[in-house]
Amino acid sequence: MFSLEGMTALVTGASGGIGSSIARSLASQGARLALSGSNAAKLRAFREELNDEYGHDHVEITCDLSNATQVEELIPATVDTLGKIDILVNNAGVTRDNLAMRIKDEEWDAVMKINLEAAFRLMRASARPMMKARFGRIVTITSVVGATGNPGQMNYAAAKAGLVGMTKAFAQEVASRGITANCVAPGFIRTAMTDVLPDAQKDALNARIPMGRMGEGEDIGAAVAYLASKEAGYVTGQTLHVNGGMAMLS
């Protein structure tokens, strides 16, 4: 794959299913990571696991992405700890699913605050050190439902679609400084949450996918590693859909 030796990366939601796969992919290519999440014990255990497997003395930084003050402190803490920030991966996200007529204000607000607003704050904060270095890679994890919609997920689909538009605008502002900004849009990915679904429900999901199966976390990690690499320097403002053909979008 693409070498990330000598590069540093911040990954939010790093101890979750897709987040841990992204972190492993970046670490396996040589990047040194700041792993962020809200569960300190889980982060610490995962960081120790990465250090044992890949070396590079990775670090963890706990952060509640619903707390604007903590979010604003995350990029400076990463730079202080790692010395610089080359790669930002906005991966963390939450769902508060409900039908439109039943969505409560707090369900809307929680999804927007964590999925959209936190990503905006981190992108804004990362711009200064990346512009100074004249290099940066920002990869934001959106979702196929941000392009297709999904019943019961008006808030989530709106936030994920918002990430795409925000990324395109940001990409245009920073391109001249050697910074790229792109999205990866997963389809159905096999995680601990999908593993517990009844077989009939899994079969129904797989029937919607031309490849006949859900993706793996490693599929998302590989896409992120590519977009984070120096070789992807002429790719910006794009959304890379990784969904097994479920939605063939251009």
Note if 226 is an active site residue. Answer: no
Total Cβ atoms within 10 A of residue 91: 26
| Nearest alpha carbon to residue 67 among 117, 106, 15, 33 | 117
| Nearest alpha carbon to residue 143 among 215, 206, 72, 82 | 215
- State the catalytic residue, choosing from 54, 156, 226, 234: 156
User: 3-state secondary structure string, 77-115?
Assistant: HHHHHHCCCCEEEECCCCCCCECHHHCCHHHHHHHHHHH
User: What DSSP line would sit under 166-230, residue for residue?
Assistant: HHHHHHHHHGGGTEEEEEEEE-SB--HHHHTS-HHHHHHHHHTSTTSS-B-HHHHHHHHHHHHSG
Contacts for 165 with CB less than 8 Å, ≥ 6 apart: none
| Nearest alpha carbon to residue 220 among 174, 248, 194, 189 | 189
Spatial contact of 20 and 194, defined as CB atoms under 8 Å apart: no
Tokens of 36: 């962020």
Active site residues: 156
